[in-house]
Structure 1
Amino acid sequence: MKGISTIAFSGGVGGAKLALGLARVLPPEELLIVANTADDFDHLGLHICPDLDTITYTLCGRANRSQGWGIEGETWNCLQALSELGGPDWFRLGDRDVATHLYRTQRLREGARLSEVTAEICLALGIGQRLIPVSDDPVRTIVHTAGGDLPFQDYFVRQRCEPRVTGFRFDGADRAAINPELHAALSSPDLSAVIFCPSNPFVSIAPMLAIPGMQEALLAARAPIVAVSPIVGGTAVKGPAAKMMSELGLPITPLAVAKRYSDLATAFIVDVVDGDQVARVRELGLACEAMPTLMNNDDDKLRLASSVIDYCHALSR
């Protein structure tokens, strides 16, 4: 049986959209989706994995399409009752979402690995694709700000990305091990594409690349590594990437993102509105193509996924 042909590294909302497109155009057994876990945190005694959950809900068709995260048709009775008691209600946990966190937390306390629990949840929700955390070991993004260091969810949700960013660190990354399934897939002779989905380069992709041996394993893979720009027309499609770039003194352009990947990636994809960036990206030594990357509906996701796969195959010839 053919093994994994495509590995997709993904953060939350933007990455999940392309992951869904890839899930629709590739046989389930050929796709491995790798989720960032550096956003994970413990809240109200529950172990919460925002990126894993966003991808999970997207793949099973339950994601809230308007906001990109959470579950469509969610109710908030538990959160409302918690607020009435004076409890912390800054992180919005819906009633059905809580069930996911309760199940995960209990299984982890029983000694299961995060990979095992993720597989169980996917099976229960009818997801045929393999979705894994990048590591079973904890890695946590800490955002350096002008006012001090903040755990990622405090920065992102509690303070609504308002503090000025000065840098990042990834606690635990130096002690984390690459998910064995990912390591095996990267060395597989069947591998034909490694894709960095359009996710935040600083807090979604970078924590995964910080795990010891990850970059070496990627460089040794027998497949092109293609990154899709999360910056389109001078702004981030979703999330705080553009704000972070500005505060770090970087131009808000696909080129600036491509420079972060230039020692690792084979190629970079920009949106058609940024076609003027193609030649400059190629000057970095990367192959580069412009194509429509905005994913406003399922047809867009399928089109982009098919185009990215075709491009990867063309690079392999």
Structure 2
Amino acid sequence: MTAQSGCVLALSGGVGGAKLSLGLDRVLPPGDLHVLANTGDDFEHLGLSISPDIDTLLYTLSGRSNQTLGWGLEGESWNTMEALEALGGDTWFRLGDRDIATHLWRTERLAGGADLAAVTQELARRMQINSHIHPMSNQAVRTTVHSVEGHLPFQHYFVRRQCEPAVTGFSFEGLEQAQANAQVMELLATNQFSHIIVCPSNPFVSIDPILQVSGIWHALRDSSAAVTMVSPIVAGQAIKGPAAKMMTELAVPVTALGVAKHYVDKYPGLVDDFLIDQSDATLAPEISALGMRAHIAPTVMKTLEDKIQLAQTCLALETT
């Protein structure tokens, strides 16, 4: 797998990042998109190795995602969960019958000695995806949510507790041992990317885990490609997920400006271009004052056309 000049790197969490990744996948030549995916959400459940953000990308880019639920596979059935529930088993994390096949395949391959990058690459190939999906690391990094109720593994907070406990912070277990995805780091070191795009994913639990793997954010900052970030907050609300709730609980202003300040404070010099929605246009001068180039465009993605349009906007920024 060799990148050519003009390839694009996207950083993505789950649903929000997958939407923009789909738009990029549709407008770029086959094979030109590389997506660096968060694996801090990964966990072991019912004996299976589950990678929720990677699977959301796989299902979205292959056209198989469940449009009704917003996660999982279209046309899913739930016979296994129903049978497990009848046995008194643990069913708080819902796994569809077809989705389980993905986890069974991944678990068997990992147990056989393959690493997560190779397994993800093979899954993408089998799902006929032309773009490249890369885990941020082959080593396990696990997000812990610190809350008023104590420390919670991410999926227990996100799914089991439905994001109810107020958060006080986050930590990422395994960071000290985690090595950045070797292929992406090589592509960055040799300046193979014309664009680097941070998708509108949760800053704290989707993008921070990626950036905090040793060497990644510095490599992104030092790349010859400009780094464009799309704000996940629009008009004071998160389009998807608990980002706005987390920001309120952490006393971070729930605005695109609050997101921009988060990245400036934690990763100085990383972001070159910051894309905000038209509804937040009045924030552009303050964002620019932080040292970023603020851009205004429609960023809410409801249709495939919206996703494609936002992708095209991101790719055109450096030529305008």
Alignment match, 2:227: 225
Are 1:293 and 2:299 matched, yes or no? yes
> Which secondary structure state, in structure 2, belongs to the residue aligned with residue 174 of structure 1?
coil
Write out the 4+ residue segments of structure 1 that deviate beyond 3 Å after TM superposition.
none
CA contact (8 A) 1:34 1:134 kept: yes
Compute the displacement of 1:215 (Å). 1.8
Match for residue 96 of structure 2 among 94, 97, 114: 94
Structure 2 stretches lacking a partner, 5+ long: none
User: How far, CA to CA, are the matches of 1:17 and 1:200 in structure 2?
Assistant: 13
Structure 1 stretches lacking a partner, 5+ long: none
User: How far, CA to CA, are the matches of 1:221 and 1:65 in structure 2?
Assistant: 36
Alignment match, 1:206: 208
Alignment match, 1:66: 68
Alignment match, 2:273: 267
User: How far, CA to CA, are the matches of 1:184 and 1:120 in structure 2?
Assistant: 20
> Which secondary structure state, in structure 2, belongs to the residue aligned with residue 88 of structure 1?
coil
Compute the displacement of 1:313 (Å). 3.9
User: How far, CA to CA, are the matches of 1:269 and 1:194 in structure 2?
Assistant: 13
CA contact (8 A) 2:8 2:193 kept: yes
User: How far, CA to CA, are the matches of 1:52 and 1:80 in structure 2?
Assistant: 25
Q: How does 1:249-264 map to 2 (within 5 A)?
A: 249-262=251-264, 263=268, 264=270
More displaced 10-residue stretch of structure 1: 305-314 or 219-228: 305-314
Compute the displacement of 1:188 (Å). 2.8
Alignment match, 2:177: 175
CA RMSD of aligned residues (A): 1.1
Compute the displacement of 1:185 (Å). 1.6
CA contact (8 A) 2:40 2:206 kept: yes
Query: TM-score w.r.t. structure 2 length?
Result: 0.96
CA contact (8 A) 1:226 1:312 kept: no
Q: How does 1:103-252 map to 2 (within 5 A)?
A: 103-252=105-254
Match for residue 276 of structure 1 among 279, 282, 290: 282
CA distance 1:220–1:90, change in 2 (3 Å) = same
Aligned pairs, number: 314
> Which secondary structure state, in structure 2, belongs to the residue aligned with residue 143 of structure 1?
strand
More displaced 10-residue stretch of structure 1: 265-274 or 27-36: 27-36
Alignment match, 2:311: 305
More displaced 10-residue stretch of structure 1: 148-157 or 24-33: 24-33
CA contact (8 A) 1:76 1:95 kept: yes
> Which secondary structure state, in structure 2, belongs to the residue aligned with residue 192 of structure 1?
strand
User: How far, CA to CA, are the matches of 2:318 and 2:80 in structure 1?
Assistant: 46
Query: TM-score w.r.t. structure 1 length?
Result: 0.97
Compute the displacement of 1:4 (Å). 5.7
CA contact (8 A) 2:36 2:136 kept: yes
More displaced 10-residue stretch of structure 1: 260-269 or 194-203: 260-269
> Which secondary structure state, in structure 2, belongs to the residue aligned with residue 141 of structure 1?
strand
CA contact (8 A) 2:14 2:52 kept: yes
**CA-to-aligned-CA distance 1:247-304 (integer Å, 9 cap, x gap):** 0011110001011222111111101111111111001010010100011010000000
> Which secondary structure state, in structure 2, belongs to the residue aligned with residue 312 of structure 1?
helix
CA contact (8 A) 1:192 1:313 kept: no
> Which secondary structure state, in structure 2, belongs to the residue aligned with residue 65 of structure 1?
coil
Match for residue 45 of structure 1 among 40, 44, 47: 47
Compute the displacement of 1:22 (Å). 0.3
User: How far, CA to CA, are the matches of 2:135 and 2:119 in structure 1?
Assistant: 10
Compute the displacement of 1:3 (Å). 4.3
CA distance 1:217–1:189, change in 2 (3 Å) = closer
User: How far, CA to CA, are the matches of 1:67 and 1:266 in structure 2?
Assistant: 35
User: How far, CA to CA, are the matches of 1:129 and 1:66 in structure 2?
Assistant: 24
Identity of aligned residues (%): 50
> Which secondary structure state, in structure 2, belongs to the residue aligned with residue 175 of structure 1?
coil
> Which secondary structure state, in structure 1, belongs to the residue aligned with residue 113 of structure 2?
coil
> Which secondary structure state, in structure 1, belongs to the residue aligned with residue 315 of structure 2?
helix
